[in-house]
């Protein structure tokens, strides 16, 4: 890859973001559990995990191609990964509803909690993007 250090930072940032999403999901699930009991706790955590799994899947698909070397292929990967993320999210919600018999309100709250972390990360700067100084790309 042409800019391997940058891709490494972005991958690390994606995992860091998912970690924070799991922390916030856990807090939301505990709050739901205090309000509605065990089924709400499980439902809230399930909803958050749906968001985390779908987001990590999308990140892994997007980082398969170096944008600096193949921008058209990278953008195609972004569009495909977004479409697959939506399909995966729908499939996971269907499975959670049918198999786990989750409660809808806490499940949606847990899922929404992952977006608050994402929006906060966008506001303060994507995690991992500023951990290391940017390196110049050399064409050796």
**Higher pLDDT pick, 101 / 124:** 101
The string of pLDDT tens digits covering residues 29-53 is 999 999 999 999 999 999 999 999 9
- Weakest-pLDDT range from 24-33, 46-55, 59-68, 114-123: 59-68
pLDDT at residue number 7: 76
- The domain locations on the chain are 4-124
pLDDT at residue number 74: 84
The string of pLDDT tens digits covering residues 70-116 is 888 888 888 999 999 999 999 999 999 999 999 999 999 999 999 99
| Contacts of 116 by beta carbon, 8 Å cutoff, 6+ apart | 24
pLDDT at residue number 130: 52
**Higher pLDDT pick, 62 / 35:** 35
Residue pair 9/125 in contact by the 8 Å Cβ criterion: no
Give the separation between CA 81 and CA 93, rounded to whole angstroms: 18
pLDDT at residue number 69: 81
pTM score, whole prediction: 0.83
**Interior CA angle at 81 toward 51 and 99, to 5°?**
40
**Three-state SS sequence of 68-128:** CCCHHHHHHHHHHHHHHHHHHHHHHHHHHHHHHCCCHHHHHHHHHHHHHHHHHHHHHCCCC
pLDDT at residue number 77: 86
Residue pair 47/111 in contact by the 8 Å Cβ criterion: yes
Query: Looking at residues 7-14, what average pLDDT do you find?
Result: 83
């Amino acid at each position: 890859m042409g800019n391997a250090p940058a891709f490494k930072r972005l991958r690390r940032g994606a995992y860091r973001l998912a970690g924070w999403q799991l922390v916030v999901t856990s807090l939301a699930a505990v709050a739901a559990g205090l309000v509605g009991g065990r089924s709400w706790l499980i439902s809230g955590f399930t909803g958050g995990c749906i968001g985390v799994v779908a987001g990590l899947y999308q990140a892994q698909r997007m980082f398969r191609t170096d944008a600096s070397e193949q921008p058209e292929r990278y953008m195609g990967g972004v569009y495909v990964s977004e479409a697959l993320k939506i399909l995966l999210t729908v499939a996971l919600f269907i499975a959670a509803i049918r198999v786990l018999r989750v409660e809808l309100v806490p499940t949606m709250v847990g899922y929404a909690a992952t977006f608050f972390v994402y929006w906060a990360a966008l506001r303060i700067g994507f995690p991992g993007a500023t951990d290391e100084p940017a390196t110049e790309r050399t064409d050796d």
